[in-house]
Every structure is written in structure tokens, then in C-alpha cells.
Structure 1
């Protein structure tokens, strides 16, 4: 019996924001994985260690959570006035599926830093000391992201004193600008697919709830925490250990996906696990974050809890933070109302790991709401670099 030897592929393991992923340069992938398709998906599944019935990713690079089961491809940009194209794959933990339907806002931070590390940014644009502005084309959603990456002695500065709730240690601050995030770029159309700031969302077998459904940063379904039996102060263990709760929240997500026109039938949601997100919002309350940090009601504008890949996220997805900031900036949405209503250009929200501030510039043009950009700060750091190995028969 012959056994195919392992092959090795140049790769970098990075943290970006509150996520981790395996980063590749397109040119370093095996030839048949350099274009979208089954071969690329099969490779990424094996790199991460999916599907894993044990939900452990013991035989791969994944961390068996939605925030640690990710792969990224970067290449020299095909778009004018951009430095790199950034493609993101969310790898399912328990099924043989890679979701390409959305972006990861956290790993967008890593994309900016990795672009410099990997030699994909023109050296003439990298200062010896200062800030390098990396112009990213987010290929999944066809949007521009601008990363302001600190540089020291001609190299990406990774260490610093910027603290991000949900990340254990401080690092250097990277400012991200999500340009024109008003729709998801895939289906296009209005930022509010139903045409309403608030809808009555009927969820079969569950009930009818007020919902704001928005496509900004990432398609997101917002509901009021109280309407679904929560306070808004819940932590991961309060939700993720309750199969009935997860099933109800998934039903809300599926109903929202149908109303937003993202899927045509409920069963299609199984192949679109990454989008839309479902999040529940509430007015400010004091609570103790998962780190033990005390979050005071007076220090936040609202509370938000969001689910990713069927589980409550330990902090907040970056793209969902864009949706939160955008919805908060538009008077009349559920997010805006629980934050106190009125016009605002920034919002600070509490999440399971702490709090986060995100800014957004919204304006109404001919009766349609538009957001020119959303801004937030994250950090990124290389954890390991070299080669990732996969069995030769995995390709």
C-alpha cells in the first residue's frame, strides 16, 4: 500500500482583531487551488481540520470556533488604486463546507499587515517610520477597506499599548476604514433590503419579532433582546450550552435571510452559515465581561450580542461592528433606538468580552440611506510563519 507524502505550502498564522486565520499568498497555493473551486475548498478544509465530528480541530490549524476556523488569500490587486485583493473563507467546523459569502472584519486587520509582510505593497509606499496606508480590495463583497498600519524601521509594528477587549495582550493599533459599506456587494440593492428600517419578522414556530435587517459590513438581522427572552448581558456559556436557544436563534436567522432575499428556501441556509448574522440589542446595563472586567452602563450606549456560525461570538465580529455602527447612525432602527435615538456619528457598545467603539457617517440621499464609511480600531500580529503541511492525497 502506497501512502502519499505530505506536501508543504508557505503560510502564515495570524491573529487579526479577535480572530485567527491561516494566511496564504495566492501564488504560493498549489496550481489547481489558485482558482475558486472544489480543490481550493478541499485544501482549506484539510488545513483547518474540518469536518471534525469531535469539534476540536485536533488534526488541523483551526480552533473549533467560528473566530478561529478561517483562511485568507492575498494577491497583488486586480483593481486600480488598490494594493491587494483579499479573499476570505469561513471554514465550517462539522461539515465539508467553506463559506465565501462574506468578509471577516477582524481578519481585514490582518490582511493589511500581511500585505506588507508578504511583499505585496510597493516598497515606495512604505515609510521607514510612520503609517502605511494599505488599500485593500475585499473580493468576497467587492468593497474597499483602507488599513492604516503602523510601521517602525521599515517593518510592520506589531507590539504596542493598544488594548482590544477580547484579546489578551496589547499590541499596535491599526485603524480600519470600511468604504461605502452600505450593501453587501453580492446581491446589491438597498442597504435595507425590505425597504424598511424596522420590520415585523415572522419566524415559523417561534413568533413574530420587530427586526432591523441591514446589509452594511455584513448582512445582519437585529432583534430586541427582551423580545426573545434575554437581558442583553449574556455571555457565551449562557447561550452556547442551550441547544434550544441556538435553534431559536438559527430560526430567526433563516427567517431574516429569506426576507432579505439572501436565500430562496430555508434549506439553503445550511450552505450560507456565515451570512446573515443575527444579533440582539438592548439598552445599557452594567455587567461583568467574560474576562472579569466590569462594564458599566454609563460607559456604553447599548449592548449587543451576535452569533457567528451558529454560536454566540466571544466578542464581536468586525463586520458586524460595522453593521452596528451603521444602524446606530440611522434614526429609527432598533439599534439606534436602544442607543437613545437621534443622529450620531459613533457608538460604543458592550459585548461579551468588553466594549468597542465604532464610527459611521450616514446620510440620506433621495430617500435612501447611505453610509460613506465606517471606522474602528483593531490590532494584528503574526503568531507563526513558515509552511503548513497537508497529506498529499488531501488535494
Structure 2
């Protein structure tokens, strides 16, 4: 019988937007886990409680959903003009892998506050009262995020009256700017539209052919029209997550879309790349009742969006997918833009299962190509617990 003692590792458990994750300083990790590789993955999986064939993550910090099976590693940045480097790991709940292929936009809101509290930001750059501007290098996708973090009395201000649908209690607002958000994905050539078109016909063997906007912005995302796949755009989680056939169809669509986007070369590769691309479907505004029981009226939104994350319909909206929504809405002719009424716009308010969210994007046409300089949205963040996590010493 194994009697290996547990080790303890400094960690902080934070909510960022509508997600939660375990945050680490790179230098606090055991030496073997300070570099990418199997040791790091095994350690983070054990912290979260994965892989768990029961799907509950009872023996770890995970919450058995894609929104709560997340890890973050932060370090001082040596990149000019940046305060910290931010690396995000999406831990699979029931399978043996950590997906490093994309960012988490929700947890991005917690990176600045954590970096300040952890002493990773030069104190001379921090106001006693006001807003600290923290420049973050998102290492997964090689992009810059600028976080505007409220400060009071020299400390991060976490409480406030900013309300975010999908989060029960109000908190302080953290504004995020995702700079040059077109994702530079291997195989996609860094193009915002990897196929060269704002709308394509996506052929999915055994499922059908659909109009699709495939975009690299914030996170690679495949947008479909809700009515083409049998939905209204007003669905809540149970309408899809309780339907195994629907989940299988979405996964097949996602795999074939990933091939068209140049993200994978074979359908089978999608199984170990669950975090990207995302699949979302859009519809014009309709009235519906959100998961909290609040009525969302036609006047409350410009467009309805539902998005899949790690094989399930998300309870609200991934922050990176919100960037993709805002970017696509700003570019005439995309499915998101058309569902929102068409034309040029610099912001969009979309309806999701938990309510609504506004996101802005600045788009312009340069040499016949659409360029988005930044996308902007607000989130909130709060420390839930800080101290140490413990894992068996032979876990990695």
C-alpha cells in the first residue's frame, strides 16, 4: 500500500468572470512542473481531480464543469512592455489530458488582480487609489491583454456593484482589452478568416451541410445559424446537454470545422483538442427566460448566441468566445453580423443562457482584409481561497 506523503504547493482559487480556476506562480511549482511536459500536466490534473471516470472531480479542486476545471500559471514577464506572462491549462474532466491550445477569457479578468496581490507587478506602477493598468502576455496564443484593475488603499478592490449575468453576486468591474485578437493558430497562417471567406459552406459527413463563419479571434470559433441545425437560439443547458445525439453532432461538426480551419489534419485529433475550436450558433433576437428566471426581451439584445465548451453547452459565455462574437459582429457579412441585423457596428449586446453581455470591437478594412485592433469587455474577479493545495508526492 502506497504511503507517499503529500506535498503542498502555494495556490490561490479565484473566480474570473463566469469561471473558476486554481492559480499558481510559476516559481512556486515543483521544479519538474516549471516547464511544459507530462510532469506539469499530471500535477495540474491531480490538483483538479482528473481524469475522473465518475465525472465529478470529487478528489480535487475541480467543479465537474468546463468552467471550473481550469488552471493558470503566472510569472513575471521578460517581454518588453508586459508585466506578466499568463498560461492557461484547460483540464479535461474524464480524460487524461490538459488542453493548452487556447486562452480563457473569463479567467483573464483574474490575472491582473492575482499578479498584483502576488507581488509580480512593480509596486511603482500601482496607484494607491484608482485603476492599475496591467499588461499581460497570453502565452497560449501569443497575444496581449490589457487589464484595468481597480485599486483602493494600495490593494486590489474586489467588491463593488458591477453585475455580470451568470455570476450570483456583484463585484468590482475589471475592463479587459484584447489587443489584435485575431488568433495566430498553427496551420491557419494567423488569418482571422483561415478559409479566406466570412461565410463558407461546411460539409459534415453524416450530419449535413451548413453555412458557417469560421473565425480566429479571441479563440478559434465556428459560428452556425441556429435554425439550420434545428434550434431557436433561446436554448438553455438542459435542452442540449441532456441529448447525447445532439452532443455527438456538435462534436462531429467541431472536428470537421477544425480541419477546414487548418487546426488539425485528421478528425481523430479533435479528441485531444477539446478546448478549441469552439462551436456556437446564432439567431436574431427573441424573448426567452434565462437560467436565473429573468426574462430577456427582444429589446435587450442585438443577437442570440449559444456556445459549446468542452463538449457541453456553456452556462453563460466563454470570454474568448465573446471576443469572437464581438469581432464577427463588427465585420459585415458574417453570420453573427447578419443575425444582428447587418451593417457596421462597434459593439454588440448578445443573449446567452444566463442573460446578456455587451462586447465591443474596433474593425477596419486594410488592403482588402479585415483587421480588428482590439476587443473590449468587462468582467469581474474575486479571490475565493488562498493558501496551499496538496497532492500526493508521486502524483507527477
Match of 1:252 in 2: 253
Separation (CA, whole Å) in 2 of partners of 1:138 and 1:89? 12
1:99-118 matches, within 5 Å, as 99-118=99-118
Q: Secondary structure at the match of 1:200?
A: strand
* 1:308 counterpart = 2:294: no
Match of 2:20 in 1: 20
Separation (CA, whole Å) in 2 of partners of 1:385 and 1:183? 32
Q: Secondary structure at the match of 1:101?
A: coil
- The alpha carbon displacement at 1:185 in A equals 4.8
Say if 1:36 and 1:296 are closer, same or farther in 2 by CA, change over 3 A.
same
Match of 2:350 in 1: 349
1:163-312 matches, within 5 Å, as 163-187=163-187, 188-312=189-313
TM-score (norm 2): 0.99
- The alpha carbon displacement at 1:2 in A equals 5.1
* 1:51 counterpart = 2:15: no
The answer to whether the Cα contact below 8 Å between 2:184 and 2:191 also exists between their aligned partners in 1 is no
Separation (CA, whole Å) in 2 of partners of 1:332 and 1:291? 33
- The alpha carbon displacement at 1:184 in A equals 3.3
Q: Deviations over 1:259-305 (max 9, x none)?
A: 00000000000111000000000000000000011101111000000
- Poorly superposed stretches of 4+, deviation over 6 Å: none
- The alpha carbon displacement at 1:190 in A equals 1.3
The answer to whether the Cα contact below 8 Å between 2:217 and 2:324 also exists between their aligned partners in 1 is yes
Separation (CA, whole Å) in 1 of partners of 2:238 and 2:273? 25
The answer to whether the Cα contact below 8 Å between 1:143 and 1:185 also exists between their aligned partners in 2 is no
Q: Secondary structure at the match of 1:357?
A: strand
Say if 1:4 and 1:211 are closer, same or farther in 2 by CA, change over 3 A.
same
TM-score (norm 1): 0.99
1:85-96 matches, within 5 Å, as 85-96=85-96
Separation (CA, whole Å) in 1 of partners of 2:394 and 2:44? 13
Separation (CA, whole Å) in 2 of partners of 1:323 and 1:380? 21
Matched pairs, number:
395
The answer to whether the Cα contact below 8 Å between 1:16 and 1:381 also exists between their aligned partners in 2 is yes
The answer to whether the Cα contact below 8 Å between 1:209 and 1:223 also exists between their aligned partners in 2 is yes
Deviates more, 1:61-70 or 1:176-185: 176-185
Match of 2:161 in 1: 161
Separation (CA, whole Å) in 2 of partners of 1:356 and 1:185? 26
Match of 1:371 in 2: 372
Q: Deviations over 1:324-375 (max 9, x none)?
A: 0000000000000000000000000000000000000001111111100000
Unaligned ranges ≥5, structure 1: none
Separation (CA, whole Å) in 2 of partners of 1:78 and 1:250? 39
Say if 1:239 and 1:333 are closer, same or farther in 2 by CA, change over 3 A.
same
Q: Secondary structure at the match of 1:379?
A: strand
Match of 1:32 in 2: 32
The answer to whether the Cα contact below 8 Å between 2:233 and 2:283 also exists between their aligned partners in 1 is yes
Match of 1:134 in 2: 134
Match of 2:84 in 1: 84
The answer to whether the Cα contact below 8 Å between 1:184 and 1:217 also exists between their aligned partners in 2 is no
Separation (CA, whole Å) in 2 of partners of 1:345 and 1:184? 23
The answer to whether the Cα contact below 8 Å between 1:184 and 1:218 also exists between their aligned partners in 2 is no
Separation (CA, whole Å) in 1 of partners of 2:390 and 2:372? 42
Match of 2:337 in 1: 336
Match of 1:10 in 2: 10
The answer to whether the Cα contact below 8 Å between 2:186 and 2:262 also exists between their aligned partners in 1 is no
Separation (CA, whole Å) in 2 of partners of 1:2 and 1:316? 42
- The alpha carbon displacement at 1:78 in A equals 2.3
Separation (CA, whole Å) in 2 of partners of 1:192 and 1:360? 16
Separation (CA, whole Å) in 1 of partners of 2:85 and 2:183? 19
Separation (CA, whole Å) in 1 of partners of 2:249 and 2:272? 18
Match of 1:60 in 2: 60
Q: Secondary structure at the match of 2:394?
A: helix
Separation (CA, whole Å) in 1 of partners of 2:190 and 2:392? 43
Separation (CA, whole Å) in 2 of partners of 1:78 and 1:340? 44
Q: Secondary structure at the match of 1:254?
A: helix
